[in-house]
Every structure is written in structure tokens, then in C-alpha cells.
Amino acid sequence: MRLGTIIIVVWLVIGGLAAAQRNYFSGSTANCAKVGTIAITVVAGPLNYAGVNPKIHDCPTPKPSR
């Protein structure tokens, strides 16, 4: 149980570092695509260093009624 927790924490820390290296935390414009990209990058973690580049390009949102 402890080993699994340690592996998960290290995995997420590496993912956070990968997102920080890509400057995903900078800027003030937060939208669905940016939050999704950050989340996927953090979860994908070490896979980023193997050449995977996860991004979410578009999140459809409901349009306001007129």
C-alpha cells in the first residue's frame, strides 16, 4: 500500500514538473482546453519525457441563448 502511494505521488510530481516546463501554469486566461491540457499532462506524467505530447484542442461549451 505504501509503495503504491509513493509511486502515485512521484508520478504526479513528475507530471507537474512536465506541465511547468511547458509553461502551462503561466498566463491568466483559463479555459476548458487549458485546464484539460494541464490535467492530462499531470496525469500522463513521465510519458511526456518519452515523447508523448497530450493536448486537448477544443471543448464544446453551450452557447448562450439570445
Provide the number of structural domains found in the chain.
1
Residue 62 inside a domain? The answer is: no
Is 59 inside a domain boundary?
Answer: no
Q: Specify if 65 maps to a domain.
A: no
- Domain boundaries, position 36: 2-50
Give the tens place of pLDDT for each residue, 20-58. Answer: 888 888 877 778 878 888 888 888 878 877 777 666 666
* Cα distance between residue 64 and residue 34, in whole Å: 21
Helices (H), 1-66: 2-21, 32-44
Q: Is 5 helix (H, G, I), strand (E, B) or coil?
A: helix
Is residue 6 over pLDDT 90? yes
Q: Find, among 37, 29, 28, 27, the residue nearest to 59 by Cα.
A: 37
Radius of gyration, CA atoms only, the chain: 15
17 found inside a domain:
yes
Q: Quote the pTM value.
A: 0.65
